[in-house]
Amino acid sequence: MSTRPEPAPEPAAAFSAPAAPSEPAASSAPAASSAAPAASSAAPAASSAAPAAKPGGEWLHYAVRNPKLLIGSFLVVVLLAIGLIGPVLLDNGNPNEYVGPQAAPPDGTYWMGTTTFGQDVYAQFVHGLRATFLVGVVGGAIAAVIAMLVGFLAGYRGGLVDEVLTMLTNVVLVIPALAVLLIINAYMGVRSVAVQGLFIGLTSWPWAARAIRAQTFSLRTREFVDLARLSGSGTWRIVFREIAPNMSSYLFMMFILLFGGAILIASSLDFIGLGPTEGVSLGLMLQSAQQWSALQLGMWWWFIPPGAGITAIVGALYVANVGLDEVFNPKLRES
């Protein structure tokens, strides 16, 4: 059995005086006609008072409320500030100089103690932080640039270009990068942090290129790309003005992963004695501590700071990356 819904009350009833029983229609019609223009004039005002939120403002709104992103970014900034400012505040610019008593535990003079040769562990730590960030930036930036060039070109052009670049990517991907780096570093007489980062970047880009290629494939058939193509824009103009801006969040998170990966690879090379021959890094500190039996001698202040520094940098980068993923992806945002 169906029931007929009752009609909604007229909006004029809230504003007009009670009508006489003998003339209900004559009193309600003018009120309804006068209320309609008011409602229509209020609609543009409401729409103009509440403009659509910009994507950047929406991301910022969620970014400042994401604990993973805030904690990870804070740790990275603190460690970066220590690496940049710490060496400047030291009296001695050479972290490998013998400045104090041998194997001294932390005290008021030497905050992180000294090595078995009397080297200041704190001085080595702050210099090592700077070198670790440098190799991460160099290696991550080089890998990101190569990955974007290969991925964008293969994904947008397709055809023979895509086949050639994909084959090149697969060949580099199956090459054991660590073994290649071991051979290169073993035969190089003088190794610097920048050169180490260069070789890491040249061997770390394939997986990122494959991911960018897949994203470009899904964007190249969009209407805005077709319009740019019809307007006569070239390949790289379309890529960097139409496709890349729509992948900016993905590219940024990819760089963070390449950054952390470059630090881990560099630390592995340093630990086995194939790190830079000039200066000091956190991996070289671990290598020296292991070589001179710091663990057996109970010199915890020699190997814990560099190990904790590497763990904190990479861990903070990955935590921040998870937070960025939640910020940029509406499906992952926490309510």
pTM above 0.75, yes or no: yes
The alpha carbons of the chain give a radius of gyration, in whole angstroms, of 31
Tell me the C-alpha distance between 83 and 40, whole Å: 62
pLDDT for 276: 84
pLDDT for 130: 93
**Other Cβ atoms closer than 10 A to 296:** 8
Question: For residue 37, what are its two tokens?
Answer: 């223009």
Report the percentage of the chain scoring pLDDT > 70: 82
Q: For residue 240, give the DSSP letter.
A: I
Mean pLDDT, residues 248-258? 92
Mean pLDDT, residues 14-23? 39
Query: Tell me: the pLDDT tens digits for 143-167?
Result: 999 999 999 999 999 899 999 999 9
Residue 142 has pLDDT above 90, yes or no: yes
Angle between helices 193-203 and 121-157 (to 10 degrees): 30
Out of 76-80, 178-182, 213-217, 247-251, least confident range? 178-182
Q: Is residue 196 classed exposed, middle or buried when 0-12, 13-18 and 19+ CB atoms within 10 A define those classes?
A: buried
pLDDT for 55: 53
Out of 45-54, 92-101, 117-126, least confident range? 45-54
Mean pLDDT, residues 101-128? 93
Residue 132 has pLDDT above 80, yes or no: yes
- pLDDT winner (highest mean) among 53-62, 271-280, 319-328: 319-328
% helix / strand / coil in the chain, to the nearest 5? Answer: 70, 0, 30
pLDDT for 56: 57
The per-residue pLDDT of the chain, averaged, comes to 82
Report the percentage of the chain scoring pLDDT > 90: 51
